[in-house]
Amino acid sequence: MALIVHKYGGTSMGTTERIRNVAKRVAKWHHAGHQMVVVPSAMSGETNRLLALAKELSPDPNPRELDMIAATGEQVSVGLLAIALESEGLQAVSYAGWQVPIQTDSAHTKARIQRIDDASVREDLAAGKVVIITGFQGVDPDGNITTLGRGGSDTSAVAVAAAMKADECLIFTDVDGVYTTDPRVVPEARRLHAISFEEMLEMASLGSKVLQIRSVEFAGKYRVPLRVLSSFTPWDIPIEEEASSGTLISFEEDEKMEQAVVSGIAFNRDEAKVTVMGVPDKPGIAYQILGAVADANIDVDVIIQNVSHDGKTDFSFTVPRNDYAKTIELLKNKMPALGAREVTGDAKICKVSIVGIGMRSHVGVASRMFRALSEEGINIQMITTSEIKTSVVIDEKYMELAVRALHKAFDLDQPAA
């Protein structure tokens, strides 16, 4: 008997008919002798609907109250799924995050999981029940409901799997695995049979929407076996076939993995560039700028400091697009303290990245990337690299052209050897 965690996304839970199919799939795994924990998202579109109601009442709602509102979407899902499972003849019990409890910090709308008390869940599993836990939410030290940010149900599922030392965590979604890039942009994109945790972490952080980045971090840190697969396959597909489908997120490079120099192309439209011009080129200036941004709970990505001229320099970085206006206002207010000449920005940029563990052992990969972009007349504004990725910031209007050019340049449309 294995302990298996299933996670189902919002589209998988989008209608009562789809919830009934989820219940039949979970029942199939339970009847095969597995202990089952299920973590569903809210029904497709429900969280957006709830948050839109709050925005109708206030342009800047209290984050604590937003969490109270947003958390109800997942509570509806777990209750409906429990009822559907009982209709399949199984014993099922649903829990909200605070009932488990899933302990988080107090950063409302962006909370981080600190620990999970799984005692009651284990008791229910031992009694033969299927346990259903709300994704996306937890409870802070003061007993307030918190949410983990968009895509947080993936994180919840992997965290539960890690805490309970599950044998496997299956992420059921509306796609059948991880692709070399988004097939909506490049129809020739291929599904990967396997990808390393390092590559998946980079892909998730760089804009791939298949898995939320914190879920991959959890899986890698706690060595949770992870697989991405589709919930739209027939529910009665044999377990042996289902358990080997999709994309395996692998712990290590092995002979079964695609041995490509570049495994995928990631892109992210949710980017904006901020430039602080004419700041003193002295020790501590980067901290003065980025420390203020961090104190406002704003994530910073690509960072570039230009060459100094006459003791002054320009400092550029990227932030999520929905934090752009807040960042600009914050830094304009700090201009006198920074000694800056001007704060400017551009909200119409994007980031395109190549990712692959093969980049460690091959030279000339970045130049191949830059040549492909140059041949399409695409100007590069910023560059950042790691051992297994190279990212460029470009004008947003060239994003799809860049992705298609790079996908072709690295032969990702060709079948794996």
Identify the band that residue 105 occupies on the pLDDT scale cut at 50, 70 and 90.
very high
Does 372 or 307 have the greater pLDDT score? 372
- Provide the pLDDT confidence category of residue 258 given band limits of 50, 70 and 90: very low
Cα-to-chain-centroid distance, residue 26? 24
Q: Is the pLDDT of residue 331 over 80?
A: yes
| β-bridge partners, 273 | 318, 346
How is residue 271 written in tokens?
């980017």
Q: Which residues pair with 171 in a beta bridge?
A: 7, 228
CATH code for the domain defined by 264-409: 3.30.2130.10
Q: How confident is the model at residue 358, as a pLDDT? A: 87
Mean pLDDT across 133-153: 94
257 pLDDT above the threshold of 60: no
Distance of CA 38 to the CA centre of its chain: 19
Compute the radius of gyration of the chain from its Cα atoms.
23
Is the pLDDT at 355 greater than 50, yes or no?
A: yes
Is residue 38 scored above 60 in pLDDT? Answer: yes
190-204: burial string, b at 16+ Cβ within 10 Å, e else: bebbbbbbbbbbbbb
User: Residues for the chain: how many in total?
Assistant: 417
Q: How far apart are CA 58 and CA 66, in angstroms?
A: 11
Averaged pLDDT of the chain: 93
| pLDDT of 256 over the 50 cut | no
3-state secondary structure of 77: helix
Q: DSSP assignment of 292-311, as one string? A: HHHHTT-----EEEPPPBTT
- Cα–Cα distance between 138 and 295 in angstroms, integer? 23
Question: What are the residues whose beta carbons fall under 8 Å from the beta carbon of 353, sequence distance 6 or more?
Answer: 202, 206, 207, 265, 266, 267, 389, 390, 391, 392
Does the pLDDT at position 253 exceed 70? no
Given a cut of 60, whether residue 193 has pLDDT beyond it is yes
Domain boundaries for CATH 3.40.1160.10 within the chain: 3-175+210-250
Q: What is the pTM of this model?
A: 0.80
pLDDT at 306: 83
How much is the pLDDT for 362? 87
Which CATH number does the domain 3-175+210-250 belong to among 3.10.25.10, 3.40.1160.10, 3.30.70.100, 3.40.50.300?
A: 3.40.1160.10
Average pLDDT of the segment spanning 152-177? 93
Q: For residue 97, give the nearest of 127, 124, 134 by alpha carbon.
A: 134
Instruction: Report whether pLDDT(191) > 50.
Output: yes
The per-residue DSSP string of 147-207 comes to: E--TTHHHHHHHHHHHHTT-SEEEEEESSSS-BSS-TTT-TT--B-SEEEHHHHHHHHHTT
What's the whole-number mean pLDDT along residues 323-337?
94
Question: Which tokens hold the place of 63?
Answer: 């984050």
Mapped onto helix, strand or coil, the DSSP state of residue 409 is helix
Of the two residues 127 and 251, the one the predictor is more confident about is 127
Q: Are 200 and 264 in contact (CB under 8 A)?
A: no
Question: For position 325, what pLDDT does the model report?
Answer: 95
pLDDT in tens, 338-351: 999 999 999 999 99
For the chain, residues classed under CATH 3.30.2130.10 are 264-409
Closest CA to 22 of 180, 190, 236, 245: 236
Is residue 71 within 8 Å of residue 147, measured between CB atoms? yes
d(CA 121, CA 318): 42
45: pLDDT strictly greater than 90: yes
Per-residue model confidence (pLDDT) at position 22? 98
Place of tokens 């060239």: 398
Structural element, H or E, at residue 344:
strand 342-355
